[in-house]
Amino acid sequence: MKEAIILFKNATINQYKKAVLSDLSFGILQGSFVYLIGRTGSGKSSLLKTLYGDLKLQQGEGSIAGFDLAKLKDRKIPDLRRKIGVVFQDFQLLPDRSIERNLDFVLRATGWKNTQERNDKIDAVLDLVGLKDRRKQFPNALSGGEQQRIAIARALLNDPEIILADEPTGNLDPITSLEVMELLRNINQKGTTILMATHDYNLISKYPNTTYKCEEGKLSEIKKNS
């Protein structure tokens, strides 16, 4: 029986000391693919930031991948982030270093000591996203879609239980968006939970999954898995 990898009960999500989502009670089962929709400022990004430890959960109960968000200490945030992968709209690759050095930077920061093991892991995630031949190139030599694939590879480095994707196709054209979506679906089908904030209703229509909507300070489920 699948367990909830994300769980909130009577929680309030705050941004700049202001409640953006309140009475938050919902769960996401391990292995799910879930969309998060809503207007800009409705609380989507604040919810994701709370999940990866960038914002404190100050009211109510919340957990992700076994971590109690209400009791999360700063020193435990690196441990949490080894369990989750985060993908951003603007890629957030380091422009002054090659793709392999971008990925190696993350591995070093998360405790990988052995050079050969780091190299093998970099090869593995680049192979998964279909960009093994771009290892020596710099981000500005890649297209937007390729940069987002690298960002997804980066998110996979520590074999996360869940990927939090904040508008991962927001800066991409429709065809490239579909390619990135197929990659995320393939990752999900291998067992990784994905929570994806998006404005792209065409993707939701083409790839229907459970969808939650942030609106007027509340979160409500609007579509079941099909």
Residues 103-115: tens digit of each pLDDT: 999 999 888 999 9
Helix ranges restricted to H, 19-109: 44-51, 77-83, 99-109
What's the average model confidence in pLDDT over 138-166? 94
Q: Which H or E run includes 15? A: strand 4-15
Strands of 16-82, DSSP E: 18-29, 33-37, 59-64, 67-68
Is 4-223 a domain of CATH 3.40.50.1100?
Answer: no
- 67-101: string of b/e by CB count within 10 Å (b at 16+)? bebeebeeeeeebbbebbbbbbbebebeeeebbbe
> What's the whole-number average pLDDT of the chain?
92
Question: What is the model's pLDDT at position 138?
Answer: 96
| Residue-level pLDDT at 31 | 95
For residue range 164-189, list pLDDT tens digits in order: 999 999 888 999 999 999 999 999 99
pLDDT band at 225 (very low <50, low <70, confident <90, very high): very low
pLDDT at 53 over 50: yes
pLDDT at residue number 125: 95
**Angle 99-109/115-128 helices, nearest 10 degrees?**
120
Say if residue 51's pLDDT is above 90: yes
Q: What is the pLDDT of residues 66-75, one digit of tens each?
A: 999 999 999 9
What's the Cα-to-Cα distance from 200 to each of 9, 33, 172, 180, 187, rounded to whole Å?
A: 28, 15, 11, 13, 20
Supply the pTM of this predicted model: 0.91
Q: Are the CB atoms for 195 and 163 separated by under 8 Å?
A: yes
Provide the residue ranges of all domains of the chain, joining segments of one domain with +.
4-223
Distances (CA, A) of 105 to 78, 139, 149, 226: 14, 14, 17, 39
Neighbouring residues of 52: CB distance < 8 A, sequence distance ≥ 6 = 80, 81, 84, 86, 164
What is the percent of the chain where pLDDT is above 70?
Answer: 98
pLDDT, position 223? 54
How high is the pLDDT of residue 226?
44
Q: Give the pLDDT band (50/70/90) at residue 224.
A: low
**Residue 1, pLDDT score:** 65
- Looking at residue 57, its pLDDT comes to 93
Is the pLDDT assigned to residue 124 strictly greater than 80? yes
